[in-house]
Amino acid sequence: MRKVELKGITKSYDGKQDVLKAIDVMIEPGEFFVLVGPSGCGKSTMLRMIAGLESITSGELALDGKRANALSPSERDLSMVFQNYALYPHLTVEQNITFGLHVKKVSKREQKERCKEVCEMLGLSDYMKRKPRELSGGQRQRVALARAVVTQAPLCLMDEPLSNLDAKLRAKMRSEIRQLQRKLGLTMIYVTHDQTEAMTMADRMMILSGGDVQQIGRPLDVYNNPANTFVASFIGSPPMNLIDAEMKDSVLVADGHWMTPVTADMKQKIGAGRVTLGVRPEHISLAKDSEPGFLVQVANVEVLGTETLVTFDFGEDTQWIAKWPGQSSVQPGEQIRICVDDRHLALFSAETGERIVCEPAPVKKVSL
């Protein structure tokens, strides 16, 4: 296990525009740390800088407390799994797995012992004499993973290793990688653009956008308390519903008729300006006869078996999504009454998008 620390890490290719901007983070030994964000946000660049495949423009990279900026990749004692597997087509599975050990001049006997052990661990024992072209995508991914694990390096870097697999296999491999990391006690840094992978695999995660850190935290902390509207709309499936609102007297009004009460603390922090209101899909429910509600028209329904996603029109140019457990009989085109539990409302600055932390409003369902 290794501790990785980034202190003010910046990357620029042309000396004018920064691809990564003053990144500060400490990754603890044995931690599964996920870098997540949209394409082009700098997450793979950061991973390659840790690996030594990209130079660091400014700042300091420390491995176990020792400066590592100038160390070559081979001196950093880490392994890496790439998106495209990077297997040698002319070598067998066994030869691909032990190639790094051969370069390090590990004895042939130890190479065979390590290879046998890791193949048993990853279910590759029956494929050791096959070539990569004879394997499925999932089997090739396991070979790439085995090649990283067999080196027994305490730090493992993964750059979107599951992006070439189908949905079912991705879910299976997510579980296998996480179990393997726990079993071996590796410090693992994992890059993905898939927020589902980040939520299900990470001990902690960093959300990046445009080279800037948006938030660092445990998955549920990030989900429940997004730092800004970008995180709120990126993390979660479906993402948080957002809408502009303004203060009128002692209530917030959205779309001209959605009204929710505010506390004195909320009123003071919001002032007379506009804000953005956020609601998670699971906090929208069908209104009972005794509850205040708002009539909306259903635009689309996705019945997933264990849950139902209902898309409805909210205002002229906005659609929201509600997530309900079970199998709902609601149909597209139908009008329904919905309400929102205001204990779970999130407030963001309309100007900066940053979260406004306030005391919760009175416990009741808001009128929609």
Q: What is the pLDDT of residues 29-42, one digit of tens each?
A: 999 999 999 988 99
If one looks up domain 4-228 in CATH, what number appears?
Answer: 3.40.50.300
Question: Counting Cβ atoms within 10 Å, is residue 232 exposed (0-12), middle (13-18) or buried (19+)?
Answer: buried
List the one residue out of 116, 119, 171, 113 whose CA is nearest residue 145.
119
Q: How far apart are the first and last CA of the chain?
A: 52
CA neighbours closer than 13 Å in the CB half-sphere of residue 84: 3
- Residue 368's pLDDT is 47
The three-point CA angle 294-296-298 to 5° equals: 150
- Residue 78's pLDDT is 92
This prediction's pTM: 0.89
User: Could you tell me if 36 and 43 are in contact, meaning their C-beta atoms sit under 8 angstroms apart?
Assistant: yes
Topology (CATH level 3) of domain 238-366: OB fold (Dihydrolipoamide Acetyltransferase, E2P) (2.40.50)
- Residue 256's pLDDT is 66
Whether the per-residue pLDDT at 351 is higher than 80: the answer is yes
Q: What is the spatial distance between Cα 357 and Cα 263, in angstroms, rounded to a whole number?
A: 12
| Top-confidence residue, 242 or 273 | 242
- Residue 91's pLDDT is 93
Helix (H) or strand (E) holding 298: strand 294-303
- Residue 1's pLDDT is 73
For the chain, the structural domain boundaries read 4-228, 238-366
Q: What is the spatial distance between Cα 236 and Cα 205, in angstroms, rounded to a whole number?
A: 14
Q: What is the spatial distance between Cα 182 and Cα 213, in angstroms, rounded to a whole number?
A: 27
| Residue 344 binned pLDDT confidence (cut-offs 50, 70, 90) | confident
State the Cα torsion 227-228-230-231 to the nearest 10°.
Answer: 20
Q: Which residues pair with 209 in a beta bridge?
A: 212
Q: What is the mean pLDDT of residues 167-185?
A: 87
Share of the chain above pLDDT 90, in %: 55
| Top-confidence residue, 209 or 74 | 209
Q: What is the spatial distance between Cα 158 and Cα 80, in angstroms, rounded to a whole number?
A: 6
Share of the chain above pLDDT 70, in %: 95
| Residue 102 binned pLDDT confidence (cut-offs 50, 70, 90) | confident
Could you tell me which residues come within 8 angstroms of residue 59 by beta carbon, excluding any fewer than 6 positions away? 6, 7, 8, 9, 10, 22, 23
- Residue 359's pLDDT is 61
